[in-house]
Structures are given as C-alpha cells and as structure tokens.
A = this chain, B = another copy of it.
Amino acid sequence: MSNQLTIEDVAAALGVSKTTVSRAISGKGRIGEATRNRVLEYIQKNNYKPNAVAKGFSQRKTFNIGVVWPGDYSLVDLPFFQRCLVGMSEVSSGYGYDIVISLVTGDEISNLKRIIENHKVDGVILTRTLIDDKPCEYLKTSGIPFIAIGTSLDEDVLSVDNDHFDACRELTSILIAKGHHRLALIGGSLNHMITRTRYQGFVEAFKAANKKIDESLIFLNQGNEQKLTEILKQLVARKVDGVICMDDQLAGYVMSICRAQHIRIPEDLRLASFYNSNILENAIVPVTSLNFDDRNLGAVATRMLLAVIDGEHVEKQKLQNYEVVMKESTK
C-alpha cells in the first residue's frame, strides 16, 4: 500500500528532478525527447501510477463527477438510469474521471450536499428533472457545474434530453393517421417534467390533425393497478380506439389487466407506449413504442459536464435519436 512509487522516487532513481518526471508524464512543458523516453520507460517498467488524489489536490480538482441517483425505488426507472450510467462511465473513464453516486430520495438531499461541501466532485449530473426540484435548486446556489438530464423550466440550467416531445407527437400522429382518434392517455406523476413534456407532444399531435382532445380520456398521476383496472373497463365500455401509456411499466400493467379482463389487444383495444425497455420484452403482444438511446444520453451529458468543468461554453441540447417502433399492438 504505502510502498507506492512516487514521482520523487522516480526522479531519484533516474537522477533527474521531480519537475522533469512530472513533465514527461503530463506532456506539458518542454522536455528533451531522450529524457522523456527514459522516464516513460522507467515508470512503465516499475509500474509507477500517479496518485490521482495528490494530483487533484494540487490543482483543486477531484477528477470525480457526482451522479444523483434516485433513491426512491422504482423498477421502471432502473433500466433507464442503468443505461445512462453505462454511457457516463464510458465517457468519464476516458477522461480520467470517476463517478461518485449520490442517492437522493425526495427532497432529502443531504447525500448530495455532502459530496459538494466536502469537495468530493468537480461537477454533478442530475438524472431527472422535477417540477419543484430541490437538488437542482441546491446545485444552482452551490455554484458547482452541473448538467440536468431532462427538461428544465429554468433557462439558466444546462440540460440535455431525448426529444420526448417530438417523439410522442410523432407516435400520436401516426395513430391518429391510422384512424384512431379516440385515444386515451395514461401517465405518471405530474411532478416529473417528463410527464408534462409527453403530454404536450400528445396535445400537439391532435392540434396538428385538427382534432379535439377528449379531456375525459386523459388520466395522469396514475401508477396504481387497482385504479387502472377501473379506468380500463370504463375505456372499453366507452369504445375508445386505443390507449397510450407514458411508460413501459404502465403499459405492462395495462396488458396484464387486459388479459385478466379478456380484452384483446389489438382487436378490442390498441395499445402503445411512450417509452420502451426490456420490461415489455416478455409481452405476449409486441407493443408499439418509442425507443431512445439512453446510453448515448448519459454519454452526451457527461461530455457536456466535462466541457463546463474545463471552462468551455456549452449549450443546452436535445437529442434527435428516437425511433418509433410500430408493432402488433396497434395493428
């Protein structure tokens, strides 16, 4: 452990100064070709590894980025966060950065405050945006660089997101074009920005088609299976053309309810989902849905953050990489 080679050991062994070794490693500053190679060779052979903490300390950096991970347990969200994380890790490790996880549950942001106040990270990525977003507010006042994945109402907040608006609009438009005008919409918490964005896409599609939305077919803040069963019975009785669920978990609920109630998809009811993950993989009827590249989303967010940390100017982004996948459920 403590027998780790330091820059000083290398310098002594080679009869040069610490500065020279440092320069050979960092590539900064003038240094003779021969000297550099001698140093590089030596550290290679003797397996010298720079102490990242010491390095960071001297530059007032940590080479860590914080990632705010939702502690409130929700199975649906998990695949999304995991996929983002993979992208983040790929990018950050390429730049010599590591990822510090900060579990935030509801408004309990003490874990986030800790890593900021203790100077454990150089920047932070928020993995979702809320309407009344405590983590986001805190980060703003802290002055630390951060990127929000999702849409933010706040113009000052640097954010990046998949283009849920366009994607939802397009999927809805396609269904309308197929003659399914009486569409119900089932969505989750209105406290999540994404719920509102998806709703807006849905609305826009109707507007573009010059159709009026039947407000009594819109069910937001859902998530409870009992209530959904009632809603579905009602919808079938009212002979709607189809149901759009805002995410794959809701779509999964709907499918199992339909099965139990002997409602056939797509014969009796069309079904589509505004988000896809392998939760729907086992579905007996393949479900029309939207695919996003979440891994790339995480990668882009990380690149943006690293740029901000390096003092570069960075703009908000909206990624144009969704896919509308038409399946049997809306035949």
> Is A103 at the interface (CB under 8 A from chain B)?
yes
Taking a contact as CB atoms under 8 Å apart, the answer to whether B73 and A119 are in contact is no
Q: With the chains together, A260 CA to B78 CA distance in Å?
A: 28
Given A111-B89, A118-B50, A120-B52, CB of A100 within 8 Å of CB of B98: yes
Q: With the chains together, A73 CA to B86 CA distance in Å?
A: 9
A: contact size bracket: 35 or more
Taking a contact as CB atoms under 8 Å apart, the answer to whether A259 and B284 are in contact is yes
Given the complex, which residues of B lie within 8 Å of A100, measured CB to CB?
64, 98-101
Indicate with 1 or 0, residue by residue over A25-57, a CB within 8 angstroms of chain B CB atoms. Answer: 000000000000000000000000111111011
Taking a contact as CB atoms under 8 Å apart, the answer to whether A256 and B284 are in contact is yes
Q: Using a CB-CB cutoff of 8 Å, which residues 105-136 of chain A contact chain B?
A: 110-111, 114-115, 117-120
Taking a contact as CB atoms under 8 Å apart, the answer to whether A83 and B89 are in contact is no
> Is A2 at the interface (CB under 8 A from chain B)?
yes
- A49 closest partner in B (C-beta): B117
Q: How far is the CB of A284 from chain B (nearest CB, A)?
A: 6
> Is A286 at the interface (CB under 8 A from chain B)?
no
Oligomer: number of copies: 2
- A79 closest partner in B (C-beta): B75
Taking a contact as CB atoms under 8 Å apart, the answer to whether A79 and B78 are in contact is yes
> Is A323 at the interface (CB under 8 A from chain B)?
no
A101's contact among B2, B60, B101, by CB below 8 Å, is which? Answer: B101
Q: Using a CB-CB cutoff of 8 Å, which residues 60-94 of chain A contact chain B?
A: 60, 62-64, 67, 69, 71, 73, 75, 78-79, 82-83, 85-86, 89, 93
- A57 closest partner in B (C-beta): B57
Taking a contact as CB atoms under 8 Å apart, the answer to whether A93 and B114 are in contact is yes
> Is A218 at the interface (CB under 8 A from chain B)?
no
Q: Which residues in A have some Cβ–Cβ distance to B below 8 Å?
A: 1-2, 4, 49-54, 56-57, 60, 62-64, 67, 69, 71, 73, 75, 78-79, 82-83, 85-86, 89, 93, 96, 98-103, 110-111, 114-115, 117-120, 143-144, 225, 252-253, 256, 259-260, 277-279, 282, 284
Beyond known contacts A52-B120, A98-B102: 15 more, CB 8 A cutoff: A49-B118, A50-B118, A64-B120, A73-B79, A73-B83, A73-B86, A78-B82, A85-B103, A93-B114, A98-B118, A98-B120, A99-B101, A100-B101, A256-B284, A260-B284
